[in-house]
Amino acid sequence: MPSETVDHAITPGPLTGAASDPTYAGALSFMRRKYTKDLSGADVAVLGIPFDAAVSNRPGARFGPQAIRRASAIMDNDPQYPFSADLFDTLAVIDHGDVLLDYGNHAATPGAIEAAARAVIDKGVFLLALGGDHFVTWPLLMAHAARHGPLALVQFDAHQDTWFDDGQRIDHGSFVGRAVRDGVIDPDKSIQIGIRTHAPEDCGIEILHGHQVEEMGAVEIAEAIYERVGGGKAYITFDIDCLDPAFAPGTGTPVAGGPSSAKMLATLMHLKNLQMVGADVVEVAPAYDHADITAIAGAAVAMHYLGLLAARKAGR
């Protein structure tokens, strides 16, 4: 039974510590973290990016941040599995709200997202972004590369996202090729996991195809990621359609033959030594979901990122 007031997300108090809200009530920030625009004292800021005008199939990922926050309510006040600890004992995480975007001026979208991201990153706060379609990763990569230089991209996805790009497109299927050509990511240190479609070019990025992932264990997948990335700074982007539609039906472009949520979460667990400098979860589209299956998977991916950061901070 809760021993404190509901609405931990908006109740004054420290940024650390578990919430006590019932899972079925209270303000729905990500994992009940404090809603605030103040970055003071924060290790991590969770930022929603409600944008889906770049999709090539089914729209609806603009509602992804809301759905992920709602699904995360079940993870807020027990020791988080499989980390066997309250992640917020020492890790100060805030919910920074959403990026404000003009739905009638998509040309301004990349700049608005990049500016919002840089406002967090430039304060030395880790940015965990909730999309939104996969185009939002482009301005996020721009913001991180401005601080860290060219990044290793670790991309969990059914699609390579290397289709034609003229440098101006607002397109969730071409941003990776643009990032390679513009020197934002280093293809020689980048890897894509779970690919189950063909694209015209691989841009020099290593690919673990869906059928290969099916035959590999989580440790083996993680080892392939480490071997590719080396000791470089890495950005992890997790398109929820990396998962088989059985585990993530609520997405814009589902592709059969993908891995389970269990296998991919186990893979993330083995990436604790990766030099992760930023991360996102994208393409959760709740209108096509059933019983929050996809939103729960997206929230679990985001929670695993926090688990890796908490372990890093605790020196585990």
Can you say which residues are annotated as belonging to the binding site?
A: 134, 157, 159, 161, 239, 241
Q: Is the dihedral of CA 51, 309, 94, 218 positive or negative?
A: positive
Tell me which residue has tokens 């004054």.
12
Burial classification of residue 214, based on how many CB atoms lie within 10 Å of its CB (0-12 exposed, 13-18 middle, 19 or more buried): middle
Q: Evaluate whether 260 touches 243 at the Cβ level (below 8 Å).
A: yes
Would you state the torsion angle of the CA atoms of residues 307, 310, 315, 316, taken in this order, to the nearest 10 degrees? Answer: -30
Annotated binding-site residues for Mn(2+) read: 134, 157, 159, 161, 239, 241
* Nearest CA-CA partner of 191 in 141, 138, 154, 239: 154
- Give residue 207's identity as a one-letter amino acid code: I
Q: Are strands 191-195 and 34-35 parallel, antiparallel or unpaired?
A: unpaired
CA distance 246 to 219: 23
- Give residue 273's identity as a one-letter amino acid code: N
CA distance 1 to 15: 22
Share of the chain residues as helix, strand and coil, in percent rounded to the nearest 5: 35, 15, 45
Tell me the DSSP string of 4-26.
S-S-GGGSSS-SSS-----TTSS
